[in-house]
Amino acid sequence: MSTYMQYFFEHSGQVLPMVAVAILWFGFTAIGSAVSGAGRVRALDPLVGWAWIGFVFTTVGVFLATPFTYLAMVTAVIAAGAGVWVWRRDGEVVPSMFLRMLVLTIPFLLLVSAMRASQWDEFSDWMIIPRYMLETDAFPSKDNPYPNAVFTGYPYSWHFVTYLASRIAGGLLENAGALVNVLLLLMFGLVIIQLIARGAERPELMKGPVWLAASLGAAAMLLANPTFSQKIVLTSYAETASAVATGAGVVLGWLVCEALVDDDRRAARCYAWQISAVLALLINLKQATMVLVVLIVLATLFMAIRDRRIPLVMFVKLLPQIVVPAATLYLVWRYHVSSELVAREISVRPFNDWYIELIPHILMKMGVALAKKGYYLSLVIITVGFGLRGFSRAMSPMDRLAAICAMVFLGYNSFLLFAYVAAFGKFDAMRVASFWRYNMHLGPMLIAFAAYGAAILWRQYLAARWNWRRVKWLPTILLLAAPFVFTKKIRFDKAPMTVHFRTVGVALQALLTPADRYFISDPTGSGESAVILRYELDRGAKFAGVVSAFDSRGLKTLERILLNPELNAIIVFSMDKGFAELLGRNFPPGSTYLLRREGLGSWRYVTSWPQPAVK
């Protein structure tokens, strides 16, 4: 029992990330609320505040090279002042329903607060880049390289989250991103409740039984979300932020159309202001999110052109307000990438190198990948079906929302096909690498449509026949029980070999120096050992390479690297045929070994670490 409870209460340091993230979230919300009008979607205040903070950090960091610490201090003062002003204006800063959601998810948040980084991309990018930001107080550049990071050319708004939370805490927080991801999903749960209230024509849902509404919103995003994957959501990956921002952009674009249909131009301008911030945030999260921004704008524009009840002239007048902040931020970052960074992002190959002949195979693999996700595919089929129908007739709010969602889905997956053909390597293209991970960006959008559509169906066909109060307790029970039922699945960061790799990496910090050059021998492993050791050692020693199971010439690679006189340390995680002969001795399996060069072709055993038994 004590071991089980350690999943929830592992160490006293869990308090610090929760407090730091709470302060950061309050700051985002206060700034977003202060700059938005009274007719805004209040639930999205944190996205708006985060967007403008990211805008300022990016533009000032690129053109003025102002240290991030100074920007963070100024931001903290502005957030505090905004919080006081909003409190006096509205009586609260964070919506009370959101606070109730937090109460309902306390067990879940406790689990997340105890987690550490554990996934490949976290060690190669999502954690190591914020660490460099903390160390150097500036973006990567020619004079400030981030040596062990891979995609330094990616936009940085997501990195600002970990950076700012870590600044508040006084040191790098590895689970700040995971905690913020949970808060983002809960925030979008508020949007879901508003859509349900709108579709069911029950505005009292937002003011009546608030605990029921809070549990419904949280359950929709944490339990009924078809794209909830614990190894994505509960990490520092930017997928959840991209997904929530995409869903928010779609909903706001639709609300702009609805306000124009109702001839409420003041509300349309307010929603346009919010969507401009959300799109500025979205375009600065990942390289591929630029496509989502373009698709949201085009889908909303096509809907405005198609539906004659939307005054097209007025919509076009709002377009600069919607588009300019995102376009400006995109151009600012592209300027920095082109002038200061070299080949640190994915790029499109020349046309002659495109895999045109692989298109049928890629389409088949994309279809197979979706077929394996039955729940998600069902929502996609329903959404696209209603979307085609909605675009054709354009008669109701449901038609307009469905059409916008369908256009974004079809457009994004068409872009993914293009990326596999024109940008990805052949191996990744043939296996449609990360296809499901990219489709996760569309999850909240599909939930929004499903919630709004279900509310309309409920109002029309079920409201008078079935008493929903009989099951009003069900979402709350499920939310409270799920963390205890799925504890081990949630705490995937405790995977034995991942913990072992990190333990070895920490121990090597005292055994290697910056003058050392080390090589990793792991011919039966995936190469994760090397990624984690590079993260743990960073500038503490020079990385000379790795042999993994994906290296078809592993033995020849080791033979070649051993001839390098600068190489003076080898970490052996696994052995394979011929490796023992090259190293001059056999190493019993079940341990990790550190070797030191004694002379040309001679290696001395230094120490070892027992490996965990993997079932």
| HEC readout, 491-518 | CHHHCHHHHHHHHHHHHHCCCCCCCCEE
Q: Tell me how far CA of residue 76 lies from CA of 37, 72, 91, 285, 329, in angstroms.
A: 22, 6, 21, 22, 22
Of 100, 97, 88, 83, nearest in space to 32 by CA: 83
Q: What is the pLDDT of residue 458?
A: 86
The domain limits of the chain are 2-348+466-490, 496-610
pLDDT of residue 344: 58
Tokens 């409420």, residue located = 264
Query: What is the predicted pLDDT for the residue at 577?
Result: 85
Whole-number pLDDT of residue 343: 53
CB atoms within 10 A of CB 240: 31
pLDDT of residue 468: 61
Q: And the tokens for 253?
A: 């674009």
Residues of the chain with pLDDT under 70: 1-2, 204-209, 342-345, 463-464, 466-471, 614-615
- Show the CA angle centred on residue 476, arms to residues 473 and 480, nearest 5°: 140
Number of H helices, E strands in the chain: 28, 5
Rounded Cα–Cα distance for residues 528 and 75 (Å): 37
Are 184 and 240 a contacting pair, CB within 8 Å? yes
Residue 177 identity:
G
Tell me which residue has tokens 């060069």: 597
- Quick: pLDDT tens for 70-115: 999 999 999 999 999 999 999 999 999 999 999 999 999 999 999 9
The domain made up of 496-610 has a fold known as Rossmann fold (3.40.50)
Q: For 311, which DSSP code?
A: -
pLDDT value, residue 615:
62
| Residue 500: per-residue pLDDT | 97
Sequence letter at residue 302:
F
Q: What is the Cα–Cα distance from 112 to 454, expressed in whole angstroms?
A: 31
Amino acid identity, position 391? F
State how far the Cα of 495 lies from the Cα of 527, in Å rounded to an integer.
Answer: 16
pTM metric for this prediction: 0.95
Nearest one of 445, 437, 377, 440 to 406, comparing CA atoms:
445
Instruction: Please count the other Cβ atoms lying within 10 Å of the Cβ belonging to residue 478.
Output: 16
Residues 226, 281: Cα–Cα separation, whole Å:
24
